[in-house]
Amino acid sequence: MCLTKVGLIDCGRLKALFSISWLIAAGLLGAIVPANAQVNVTQYHNHSSRDGLYTDSAFTQSAAANLARDLNFDGTIVGNVYAQPLYIEGGPSGPMVIAVTESNNVYALNAVNGTVIWQRNVGAPVPTADLHCTTVGSMGIIGTPVVDLVSRALFLNAMVTPDGGATIKHYIISLNVDTGAINSGWPVDVEATVQPYNESPFIAAVQQQRPALGIVGNILYVGYGSMGDCDRYHGWLVGVPINNPASVTAWAAGAINNVSIWGGAIWGVGGIASDGSNPFVTTGNTIFTGGIWCGGEAVIRFQPGPIFSGNPSDYWTPTNWLQLDNDDLDLGGSGPLLVDVPGATPSHLVVALGKDGNAYLLNRDNLGGMTAPVDSFQVTTQAINQGAATYRTNQGTYFACRASRLELSTLRITATNPPNIASAWTINRTGLGCGSPFVTSTDGTNNMIVWTIGTGGEGTGGDQRLHGYDGDTGAVVYAGGGANELMAGTHSYSTTGIAARGRIYVATDNKVYAFKLPGETPTPTPTATPTPTATPTVRPTPTPTATPTPTATPSVSPTPTATATPTPTPTPTPKPHLGNISTRGFVQTGANVMIGGFIIEGTGPKRVIVRGIGPELSQYGVPNVLVNPTLELHNGTGALIASNDNWQTTIIGGIITSDQRRDIRNSGHAPGDGRESAIIADLPTGNYTAIVRGVNNTTGVALVEVYDLSRETNSILGNISTRSFAQTGAD
């Protein structure tokens, strides 16, 4: 081995060395997939923290201002939609949009043209006439599903009836996400499987499954609430091990050995949030408690299972919980939002938003029991029912919420001791409607855009359009488009969008809409290259615009409050820099592994993510992929400073001192397959070498990549040199 300016290489067995020193502006793409492109939306609001943040380098504010609906995208489905769509890559049929409907139809749509890849009906929905009360009509799939990429399994809950309404069941179902086939051991009949909790049984006919499902570790969590506070429901959290669905654990709010007490619904659309180790939920009002707190009006942290310890550190409820119960002003209308605020004490926080119009800030590490919150702030005089979003810019940490149908409100959390909530900006949405917000950014810090949809319901028809606002100021970035951008079939706080591969997808009744940035497609088809030279992706020619539909009556664009600038903030031209290193080659054994050297130049450390990709390449038609890549990171002396074999399992050692799963997910560059490897590191200036091998001496085509996660620092990625075994053809 010898040390060169690009790191540690095998001088004696050198087969091919390709060196390129190049500067690129933000937004140029790597050899196989776009740099910083958001992929694999597996759950509600993209991450288990429920932040609603989608990182995609294509979403500059100037590009977003020209967003347009893709008129060549079909997107036809059958049934009303209350769940967020998902976006999944890595399957044999290419990228897919997953949509579910109240009619119990599950669809996988081609993400490029919106045609059906597969469709499955999972059972007859329960007719409205057979429900004691319902706010959504007939009852089928309401909550947002979740996908486990390692097993390629799609999990959902469906309310079904096999006999026209006489028998009502809740089934937790697992489908193969690539084919729609039901996986072995599923479905789980919830009522037949869940044991009574404190003498309270699970009664399927009175429980509604609205909150988004979540996976923490290897356990699937499903929350249940009521249908308008009818009958003797409980707030249930059901845990199902994804590898052993017969072993079910459950907990219920409003259950203390007294059948006259009920309630505590888990019903916020955001559902189960997680810090990577523990599930968190919010619960609603309890009924006939006699002043005995029994799990309602609370933020609760569970141990895996779910198991509730009952310790004050594992729950928070306001001191006026009983008054909130009596006034039906519960905390359950919004799921918990997990937020980290660097520089604040405490810095690990939970944001809870209530039907009383207040935002509550809590210490996630010690929720505190029945006590005052870290801070609170009255956002509105209306009820807050929705899924919030959170993001961080150079100006601070924010969260955005739907403050009833009337307002989109964004608030700042101060980096102080203790942290406080302060108003940032508010958009008046009176008459226009307001769905649950979501956020896009080019790199996780810059070009923040807060999006909402002018949804119908709650006394307003909504303008049925997508709207985007500057994350720092509230200035209008995208005002809804023209006649072609008009949607239909949205639902108050349930409807929200996702961003993936330069597109925004919105699922509504009987239709999935796709909006695209100028010149963007979801997944460019890769061109096989005989050498591992990194190549900018060619932007495809835009599809000709279809004949416009009849012009709709123009709607008035909402005006930000005085704190917002009335016009969009111009996007500055990004400083040229190396944003992504991406090289493909054939990995063999011994000395013929893949080596990628890179340099950090400048005056300070740089945060990067290094990835070893194999199985994910098969979706691009790459043959003979490396099935299980392992990754090593060496410094300029040749010392091993970090390693990884499976990005979902952190290897502690060297410069890696804590679990990295959450950081990898939040980076926007989590690998698409659980067998692939990733390391996040804050690296000082110097030379580094990434080595990709095959587990158990396996061979195949792999990709070694380095992404810049801290472009605002005074350091840059300055050079790449890669070495792999040069073969013939595509290898």
DSSP for 79-130 reads: S---S--EEE-SSTT--EEEEE-TTSEEEEEETTT--EEEEEE-SPPBPGGG
Q: What is the mean pLDDT of residues 661-677?
A: 86
My answer on whether omega of the bond before 211 falls inside 30° of 0, hence cis, is: no
Rounded Cα gap, residues 496 and 483, in angstroms:
20
E strand or H helix at 681:
strand 677-683
- In this structure, the number of other CB atoms found within 10 A of the CB of residue 267 comes to 29
Asked whether 174 and 168 are in contact (CB, 8 A), the reply is no
Identify the residue with better confidence: 237 or 604.
237
* pLDDT tier for residue 458 given thresholds of 50, 70 and 90: confident
Q: What is the mean pLDDT of residues 649-673?
A: 87
Residue with tokens 């890769």: 526
- What is the pLDDT at residue 588? 87
* pLDDT tier for residue 668 given thresholds of 50, 70 and 90: confident
Structure-token pair, residue 488? 């239909």
- What is the pLDDT at residue 573? 44
Structure-token pair, residue 377? 């702030």
- What is the pLDDT at residue 718? 65
My answer on whether omega of the bond before 568 falls inside 30° of 0, hence cis, is: no
- What is the pLDDT at residue 255? 79
299 pLDDT exceeds 90? Answer: yes
> In the sheet that 449-453 helps form, which strands lie side by side, from edge to edge?
53-55, 438-441, 449-453, 466-470, 476-478
- What is the pLDDT at residue 731? 57
Phi, psi of 326 (to 5 degrees): -65, -30
* Cβ partners under 8 Å of residue 16, min gap 6: 531, 723, 724, 725, 726
Q: What is the mean pLDDT of residues 145-173?
A: 96
Structure-token pair, residue 438? 């979501």
Residue range 19-31, pLDDT digits in tens: 332 223 223 223 3
Fold classification of 122-379 is Methanol Dehydrogenase; Chain A (2.140.10)
Question: In terms of DSSP bridges, do strands 686-694 and 594-602 run parallel, antiparallel, or are they unpaired?
Answer: antiparallel
- What is the pLDDT at residue 50? 98
The number of C-alpha atoms within 13 Å of 374 and in the hemisphere containing its C-beta is: 25
- What is the pLDDT at residue 712? 64
- What is the pLDDT at residue 526? 38
* Cβ partners under 8 Å of residue 326, min gap 6: none
Rounded Cα gap, residues 315 and 235, in angstroms:
15
What's the angle, vertex CA 450, arms to CA 580 and CA 76, rounded to 5?
Answer: 90
Asked whether 75 and 108 are in contact (CB, 8 A), the reply is no
Rounded Cα gap, residues 627 and 699, in angstroms:
8
Phi, psi of 615 (to 5 degrees): -55, -35
Q: What is the mean pLDDT of residues 153-170?
A: 96
Question: In terms of DSSP bridges, do strands 53-55 and 438-441 run parallel, antiparallel, or are they unpaired?
Answer: parallel
CA distances from 22 to 28, 443, 533, 688 (A): 12, 20, 12, 17
Rounded Cα gap, residues 318 and 641, in angstroms:
46
Structure-token pair, residue 449? 């855009």
Decide: helix, strand or coil at residue 448: coil
* pLDDT tier for residue 521 given thresholds of 50, 70 and 90: low
* pLDDT tier for residue 44 given thresholds of 50, 70 and 90: very high
Asked whether 256 and 201 are in contact (CB, 8 A), the reply is no
Asked whether 140 and 160 are in contact (CB, 8 A), the reply is yes
Rounded Cα gap, residues 317 and 309, in angstroms:
15
Residue range 468-519, pLDDT digits in tens: 999 999 999 999 999 999 999 999 999 999 999 999 999 999 999 999 999 7
* Cβ partners under 8 Å of residue 88, min gap 6: 40, 41, 42, 95, 96, 98, 108, 147, 149, 177
Q: What is the mean pLDDT of residues 33-62?
A: 87
- As a CATH number, domain 580-723 is 2.60.120.380
Picking from 30-44, 117-131, 317-331, 409-423, which range would have the lowest pLDDT averaged per residue? 30-44
My answer on whether omega of the bond before 418 falls inside 30° of 0, hence cis, is: yes
- What is the pLDDT at residue 131? 85
* pLDDT tier for residue 721 given thresholds of 50, 70 and 90: low
Picking from 262-266, 521-525, 570-574, 577-581, which range would have the lowest pLDDT averaged per residue? 570-574
440 pLDDT exceeds 50? Answer: yes
Identify the residue with better confidence: 182 or 597.
182
DSSP codes, 319-362: TTHHHHHHHT--STTB--EEEE-TT-SS-EEEEEE-TTSEEEEE
% of the chain beyond a pLDDT of 70: 83
- What is the pLDDT at residue 421? 98
Domain ranges of the chain: 46-121+380-517, 122-379, 580-723
228 pLDDT exceeds 80? Answer: no
350 pLDDT exceeds 90? Answer: yes
Q: What is the mean pLDDT of residues 633-641?
A: 89
Q: Return mean pLDDT, the chain.
A: 85
Q: In angstroms, how far apart are the furthest CA atoms of the chain?
A: 80
Picking from 289-293, 320-324, 372-376, which range would have the lowest pLDDT averaged per residue? 289-293
Q: What would the 3-class secondary structure string for 262-319 be?
A: EECCCCCCCCCEECCCCEEEECCCEECCCCCCCCCCCEEECECCCECCCCHHHEEECC
Decide: helix, strand or coil at residue 25: coil
The amino acid that residue 262 corresponds to is W
Instruction: Name the nearest CA neighbour of 194 among 242, 154, 251, 267.
Output: 251
* pLDDT tier for residue 416 given thresholds of 50, 70 and 90: very high
Q: What does pTM read for this prediction? A: 0.71
Instruction: Name the nearest CA neighbour of 170 among 121, 103, 123.
Output: 123
Instruction: Name the nearest CA neighbour of 432 among 458, 463, 407, 456.
Output: 463
* Cβ partners under 8 Å of residue 212, min gap 6: 43, 44, 45, 50, 83, 84, 143, 144, 146, 269, 270, 271, 272, 335, 387
The rounded Cα 350 to chain-centroid distance in angstroms is 17
Q: What would the 3-class secondary structure string for 368-423 be?
A: CEECCCCEEEECCCCCCCECCEEEEECCEEEEEEEECCCEEEEEEECCCCCCCEEE
Structure-token pair, residue 176? 């193969």
* pLDDT tier for residue 37 given thresholds of 50, 70 and 90: low
The answer to whether the Cα torsion of 312, 318, 324, 329 is positive or negative is: negative
- What is the pLDDT at residue 422? 98
15 pLDDT exceeds 90? Answer: no
Instruction: Name the nearest CA neighbour of 440 among 494, 391, 493, 401.
Output: 391
Structure-token pair, residue 310? 């009952």
Residue with tokens 């615009």: 545
- What is the pLDDT at residue 723? 56
Residue range 645-654, pLDDT digits in tens: 989 889 988 8
- What is the pLDDT at residue 17? 31
Structure-token pair, residue 620? 């691009």
* pLDDT tier for residue 286 given thresholds of 50, 70 and 90: very high
Identify the residue with better confidence: 425 or 456.
425
Rounded Cα gap, residues 20 and 99, in angstroms:
43
- What is the pLDDT at residue 726? 55
Instruction: Name the nearest CA neighbour of 447 among 391, 516, 390, 388.
Output: 391
Instruction: Name the nearest CA neighbour of 280 among 374, 216, 359.
Output: 216
679 pLDDT exceeds 70? Answer: yes
Q: What is the mean pLDDT of residues 186-195?
A: 97
Q: What is the mean pLDDT of residues 618-626?
A: 83
Asked whether 416 and 79 are in contact (CB, 8 A), the reply is no
Question: In terms of DSSP bridges, do strands 262-263 and 407-413 run parallel, antiparallel, or are they unpaired?
Answer: unpaired
Identify the residue with better confidence: 714 or 4.
714
> Can you name the residues that pair with 367 across neighbouring β-strands?
none
129 pLDDT exceeds 90? Answer: no
Q: What is the mean pLDDT of residues 322-349?
A: 95
Instruction: Name the nearest CA neighbour of 31 among 420, 533, 469, 456.
Output: 533
- What is the pLDDT at residue 1? 35
Residues in the chain: 731
45 pLDDT exceeds 80? Answer: yes
CA distances from 610 to 534, 620, 679, 693 (A): 15, 21, 5, 14
575 pLDDT exceeds 50? Answer: no
Decide: helix, strand or coil at residue 309: coil
| Count of helix runs (H) and strand runs (E) in the chain | 4, 48
